[in-house]
Amino acid sequence: MKMDVYRRQVRGELRRLRRDPVLLGIVAVIFALLGIFILFPLVKVLQLSLWADGSFQPKYFLEFFQKVYYWRPLVNSLIVGALVAVCGTTVAFIFAYGISRTDIRFKGVFRLIAMMPIVSPPFLIALSAILLLGNHGMITEALNLDWDIYGLPGLVLTETLAYFPIAFMILEGVLSKIDPSIEEAALDMGASKLRTFLTVTLPLAVPGIASASLLVFIRSLEDFGNPVVIQGRFRVLTVAAYHAVTGRYNLPLGSTLAIFMLLPTLMIFVVQRYYISRRSYVTVTGKPSGIGLKSTEKAVKIPIFIAMSLLSAIILLVYGVVLVGSFTTLWGYDHSFTLANYAYVFKVGGQYVWDTLRIALVATPVGGLLSILIAYLVVRKRFIGRGAMEFVSMLNFAVPGVVVGIAYILAFNTPPFQLTGTVFIIMLVFIFRRMPVGIRDGIAQLQQIDPAIEEASSSLGAGFFRTFTRVTLPLVAPAFLSGMVYMFVRCMTAISAVIFVVSAGVQLLTVALLYEVDQANLAAAAAYGYVIIAIVLTAIVLMRFVVGKLFKGGLTPMGGE
Amino acid sequence: MTDAVVRFENLVKIFAEGSKREVRAVDDFSLSVARGDLVTLLGPSGCGKTTSLRILAGFETATAGNVYIDGHRVNDLPPQNRSTSMVFQSYGLFPHMTVFENVAYGLRVKHVPRSEIRVQVRDVLALVGLVGLESRSVAKLSGGQQQRVALCRAIITKPHVLLFDEPLSNLDAKLRKGTREQIRQLQQELEITSVYVTHDQAEAMSISDWVAVMHDGKLQQLGSAEEIYSQPANRFVADFIGEANLLAARVARSEATGIAISLHGREIALDRFGDVFSANQEVDVVVRPEAMDLVEPSDGDLSATVRFSHYTGSIVTYTMQLPDDEEISVQVPNPTETGVLQTGQLVGLRLHRRSLHVLERKG
């Protein structure tokens, strides 16, 4: 009985796909791409770590728990991740609460400062930490301190600053959507402000806090740039895997470490996606009245304002010192002003700037279009494997960059897909690693557009292609373009996955930056950092301008009441 | 029926089939629409009317049964290849295009020459009085204007079947009436076969040639507006179309010329239903609130006590209690002339014989 129903459904689906050959073709191509560039590399990782000489030999799996040298980095990574999740979410909550639920001043400035770590290479913060707190750091020398920033303190400090903005964005969204009238209802019934906060506001924000901290945890776990600079003797998993692959050429070991990195992130991905996201109360609250608890008491406001100011000062100091560093002759010894570092960057690194830009400029639109196409198919079309398409295309959201890097080396080093050493492999890494965010945003966008608009198009005789290009794309264009900026920024600042696939022929700015740090050439590294920041800011400003020009007044999708 | 432009044949639509959330939205629904007719699918939300319409348009696929347009089975045809056009509840206008571009869209898809498009768009906008607004962005139009643009966009391609999905539900009450008349007028002028979905019975009755009342995915009754009101096929239709008192009764006598029903101990003779009901059959009598007169308690077919009065100016509606505690709703027009009855007052009700309808009691 059940089988019959199923068989009939499948038959119906096939019939429907057949009557729309364009759709069928596109679905097939996307599945092929997802298979080759997402699943196949991951399978290779599994295969290499579990099989040897054609038989099942999980050598390193068995050794992993026996040798402290192998399992210690995992434990370290988890410790750092947990600490960074707690610290990052706390800082983010203070910022989000201050901006969305109080009437403090300079909200715009605070928000701008909180977003700064997003537009810069994350590990620029590690560089800054060394400039400030390292052996010859500014603060170290000024206060004549004797400490070691390398290791756990440095990791927690840098990653907290690098990843709290992600949590901030989530929490701001959640907190600003909590209906003030719910809080007012609590106050009305005689609860104090503190009690209202503890029994109403905070519980409503719990799902948001949970997803924010899990996301920060994942980001910390998969962070490569900061640890490689500042981990010292406190070895974390990403760097261990990197050294296994590039230092010892032990790919099976690297793959095994990659899998141990993948397990926790994948688990969190599933928990977040299928458990926490369903417990969000925010969407079911009543109509937001728009007027919040804006007149906050001084006793609340002042501590929040002070905390936010302090944190902002730290962030400004972090970026300021890198900027100063980039104009300094030799950090720690000779602090005289020089432009030599930038001259060096453009002389030695001119090619890197060009390569990075070129790759990002290709990867961004291709990845953006592919994302929006997948989002469109997932939201609007019914076909067999729709759920699978969504899952696989979002999978890389949970796969740490180091794992992707290792997987791509394994998958594309030999025929049939020999791509190592080419620019294409770097582009592909960018495209398939950044796609999940694009797809997620695309899905959110499309869900806000009345399906009747697209149905009207097909009802008037337009086929799949025409409807997509003439109706869907123009409607999502503003969000699509802003999404592309984000993608471009990530291409410019990424390091963890691409460091595995760059080659002598093609170099990236971030990799060059890391190389200079490695050579203790901190001033040159700082200059590289600001070149990246300049490019990213230019792109953001340019895109703002273009979007503003093209979509003046904005588009408001119309729909029923 | 050979001249049926649209034909649903034993249509079934099951959502989430085989899962716990399985819903049988349309259940063995059959209906034919003749050329040039406007048929309304009328029913409460969830009755399957919109689903049937969307299956006809091609946005949903039927689980079982067939859909024919112009005699051709279209089950597997995508929306763009069907000769249907839909006017959506939310209008579905392209917000990034002007009025002209919206209306011209269907012609552009068909590669109609530019000059021809300009003429046709002008003509169709003239029909609804929107000439001069061609270059406006549709987002800047009023709700009524947007509605008319949507209508123009749908009719310009000369579809064989025009589909309306609650097109007036986003307009305010006053606009609704005017637009309703305009749609009907255009539809008759252009002789476009139309299927119109609504949950508003007044809208359905005033606009249609035929009304198809739906409930639980099934067709309950197909008839003219007059038929479904005066001769409802079952309790659901009687109750859903207008207001109805359903009074339990028994057939006292049945002859070829008519029947006599026994209602609250009194007999009422009717000059019809002789071929439908036999003696001693249990029935329900459909009594419309407006189909009775207030008389002296001793003169009425029924005697009743006023429990509650609801005065709205042009009419007064009473909720009255019958001797067996059953409630009955009674409407009296122009209360200014007759005065409003006091709560607790005993009155007689004389039923209008020709307005009475009798239904077989089931269960």
Name the residue in chain B with its Cα closest to that of A451.
B92
What pLDDT does A66 receive?
Answer: 84
pLDDT range class, residue A296, cuts 50, 70, 90: low
A12 CA: distance to closest CA in chain B (Å): 8
Please determine, for residue A187, whether its predicted confidence score (pLDDT) is greater than 70.
yes
Please determine, for residue A3, whether its predicted confidence score (pLDDT) is greater than 80.
no
Distance of CA B82 to the CA centre of its chain: 25
Asked whether the beta carbons of residue A450 and residue B146 sit closer than 8 angstroms, the reply is: no
Range in A128-142, A271-285, A493-507, B25-39 the model is least confident about: A271-285
- Domain boundary residue among A326, A358, A383? A326
Report B:16-45 residues touching A (Cβ under 8 A): 17-18
A477 CA: distance to closest CA in chain B (Å): 10
Q: What count of Cα atoms within 13 Å lies in the side-chain half-sphere of residue A26?
A: 21
pLDDT range class, residue B233, cuts 50, 70, 90: very high
> Which strand ranges, in their side-by-side order, compose the sheet holding B193-198?
B84-87, B161-165, B193-198, B38-42, B210-215, B218-223
pLDDT range class, residue A182, cuts 50, 70, 90: confident
- Domain boundary residue among A326, A352, A374? A326
Q: What total number of domains does chain A contain?
A: 2
Segments forming the whole domain that contains residue A297:
58-326
B138 in contact with chain A, both atoms CB, cutoff 8 A: yes
Q: How many CB pairs under 8 A join A and B?
A: 99
One domain for residues A113 and A232 = yes
Instruction: Identify the burial level of A518 via C-beta atoms within 10 angstroms of its C-beta, where 0-12 means exposed, 13-18 middle and 19 or more buried.
Output: exposed
Instruction: Using CB atoms, pick whichever of B17, B77, B90 lies closest to residue A19.
Output: B77
One domain for residues A317 and A366 = no
One domain for residues A241 and A368 = no
- Residues of chain A above pLDDT 70, percent: 92
Tens digit of each residue's pLDDT (9 = 90 or more) over A279-288: 555 443 344 4
Asked whether the beta carbons of residue A466 and residue B139 sit closer than 8 angstroms, the reply is: no
Q: For A313-327, b where at least 16 C-beta lie within 10 A, e where not — what string?
A: eebeebbebbebbbb
Instruction: Using CB atoms, pick whichever of A6, A9, A558 lies closest to residue B91.
Output: A558
- Of B36 and A62, the one with more pLDDT: B36
- The model's pTM: 0.80
Asked whether the beta carbons of residue A456 and residue B93 sit closer than 8 angstroms, the reply is: yes
Kindly list the distances between the CA atom of residue A255 and the CA atoms of A75, A309, A405, in Å, as whole numbers in the listed order: 18, 44, 10
Optimal mutation site among A459, A465, A471, A556, interface B, most CBs of chain B within 10 A = A459
Kindly list the distances between the CA atom of residue B144 and the CA atoms of A26, A111, B167, B178, B184, in Å, as whole numbers in the listed order: 39, 42, 10, 10, 16
The CA distance from A132 to A141, in Å, is 9
> Tokens in use for A12?
């119906």
Angle at alpha carbon of residue A414, lines to A411 and A415, rounded to 5°: 105
Determine the residue type at B283: V
Please determine, for residue A184, whether its predicted confidence score (pLDDT) is greater than 80.
no
3-state secondary structure A27-81: HHHHHHHHHHHHHHHHHHHHHHHHEECCEECCHHHHHHCCCHHHHHHHHHHHHHH
Choices 3.40.50.300, 3.40.50.10420, 1.10.600.10, 3.90.950.10: CATH for B4-238? 3.40.50.300
> Tokens in use for B227?
């038929």
| Residue A77 and residue A261 in contact, taking contact as beta carbons nearer than 8 Å | yes
Q: Mean pLDDT across the stretch A423-450?
A: 89
Q: Which residues contact A217 (CB under 8 A, 6 or more apart)?
A: A81, A82, A84, A85, A268
3-state secondary structure A145-184: CCCCCCCHHHHHHHHHHHHHHHHHHHHHHHHHHCCHHHHH
What pLDDT does A148 receive?
Answer: 82
Asked whether the beta carbons of residue B139 and residue A9 sit closer than 8 angstroms, the reply is: no
Contacts of A454 in chain B (CB under 8 A): 92
How many Cβ atoms sit within 10 Å of the Cβ of residue A537? 13
What pLDDT does A207 receive?
Answer: 84
Choices 3.20.20.10, 2.40.50.100, 3.40.50.9100, 3.40.50.720: CATH for B243-360? 2.40.50.100
Q: Mean pLDDT across the stretch A496-516?
A: 86
pLDDT range class, residue A17, cuts 50, 70, 90: low
Range in A188-192, A246-250, A261-265, B334-338 the model is least confident about: A188-192
Please determine, for residue A488, whether its predicted confidence score (pLDDT) is greater than 70.
yes
| Residue A44 and residue A259 in contact, taking contact as beta carbons nearer than 8 Å | no
- H or E stretch at B293: strand B292-295
One domain for residues A208 and A357 = no
Which ipTM value was assigned to this complex?
0.82
Instruction: Identify the burial level of A424 via C-beta atoms within 10 angstroms of its C-beta, where 0-12 means exposed, 13-18 middle and 19 or more buried.
Output: middle
What pLDDT does A290 receive?
Answer: 46
What pLDDT does A552 receive?
Answer: 53
Name the residue in chain B with its Cα closest to that of A1.
B18
pLDDT range class, residue B18, cuts 50, 70, 90: confident
Report B:248-287 residues touching A (Cβ under 8 A): none
- H or E stretch at B96: none
- H or E stretch at B328: strand B327-333
Please determine, for residue B200, whether its predicted confidence score (pLDDT) is greater than 90.
yes
Distance of CA A277 to the CA centre of its chain: 18
Q: Mean pLDDT across the stretch A161-190?
A: 84
Kindly list the distances between the CA atom of residue A273 and the CA atoms of A266, A391, A444, in Å, as whole numbers in the listed order: 10, 10, 15
One domain for residues A534 and A406 = yes
Tens digit of each residue's pLDDT (9 = 90 or more) over B22-78: 899 999 999 999 999 999 999 999 899 999 999 999 888 899 999 999 999 999 888
Please determine, for residue A95, whether its predicted confidence score (pLDDT) is greater than 90.
yes
How many Cβ atoms sit within 10 Å of the Cβ of residue A173? 14
B62 CA: distance to closest CA in chain A (Å): 9
What pLDDT does A553 receive?
Answer: 44
B281 CA: distance to closest CA in chain A (Å): 42
The CA distance from B348 to B346, in Å, is 7
Using DSSP's 3-state secondary structure scheme, residue A453 falls into helix
Please determine, for residue A438, whether its predicted confidence score (pLDDT) is greater than 60.
yes
Asked whether the beta carbons of residue A456 and residue B86 sit closer than 8 angstroms, the reply is: yes
Name the residue in chain A with its Cα closest to that of B57.
A459
Q: Mean pLDDT across the stretch A221-245?
A: 91
One domain for residues A235 and A288 = yes
What pLDDT does A161 receive?
Answer: 94
Tens digit of each residue's pLDDT (9 = 90 or more) over A326-364: 998 877 777 788 888 898 888 888 888 888 999 999 999
One domain for residues A159 and A293 = yes
Q: Which residues contact A149 (CB under 8 A, 6 or more apart)?
A: A129, A130, A133, A134, A137, A140, A157, A230
- Domain membership flag for residue A413: yes
Instruction: Using CB atoms, pick whichever of B61, B80, B88 lies closest to residue A16.
Output: B61
Calculate the average pLDDT of chain A.
84
CATH of the domain at A416: 1.10.3720.10
Contacts of B89 in chain A (CB under 8 A): 452, 560
One domain for residues A161 and A124 = yes
What pLDDT does B17 receive?
Answer: 80
> Tokens in use for B113?
């020459």
Contacts of A555 in chain B (CB under 8 A): 95-96, 139
